[in-house]
Amino acid sequence: MKTLAQSLLTALLLSTATLVSTAATTAKNPTNTAITASYKVAVFPSPSASKLNVYVERAPGQFMLISLKTLDGALLGKQLVGKKEGSFHFQFDLSDLQDGKYTIEVASGSDVTVHPITLSTKTPTAATRTLTLN
């Protein structure tokens, strides 16, 4: 099962990496991927509105820190990954955060990638109803 999950993760990362620039996420493609010398990472929204998925593919060897930060650098959450851990997946729960711009920073040794995140709440629109008499 672990091999199957790793194979699927590899396919996901490789297919999205060819379609998306590592510099920034575009509005048309919500997946943000990056490939460095020591890891591959994909950051994308979960089907549940308040979760953010982070998939990382890497070989064990270095500590890794994944951080959720505000634009001014304040740390809101972090996930530390040990040296012996290989590829992994986890979710950040964003339900307690206000609308705004945030970043996900992934760091392993000298490799660091930053993934911009924007949270916004859509305001519900009132349904309009028309009555016509024949």
Is the pTM of the predicted complex or chain greater than 0.85? no
- The structural domains of the chain, with segments of one domain joined by +, span 33-119
Q: Which CATH class is domain 33-119?
A: mainly beta
More confident residue, 49 or 36: 36
Angle at 60 between CA 55 and CA 103, to 5 degrees: 35
The predicted pLDDT at position 50 comes to: 84
CB 32 within 8 A of CB 115: yes
Task: Identify whether the C-beta of residue 106 lies closer than 8 Å to the C-beta of residue 39.
Answer: yes
Per-residue model confidence (pLDDT) at position 102: 94
pLDDT of residue 16: 42
Q: What angle do CA 96, 97, 103 make, to 5 degrees?
A: 135
Per-position b or e across 17-55, b if 16+ CB within 10 A of its CB = beebeeeebeeeeebbbbbbeebbbbbbeeeeeeebebb
Mean pLDDT of 52-57: 92
Residue 106's nearest CA partner among 9, 22, 16, 41 is 41
Q: Which one has a higher pLDDT value, 24 or 123?
A: 123
Best-predicted range by mean pLDDT among 12-21, 109-118, 125-134? 109-118
pLDDT category at 103 given cuts 50, 70, 90 is very high
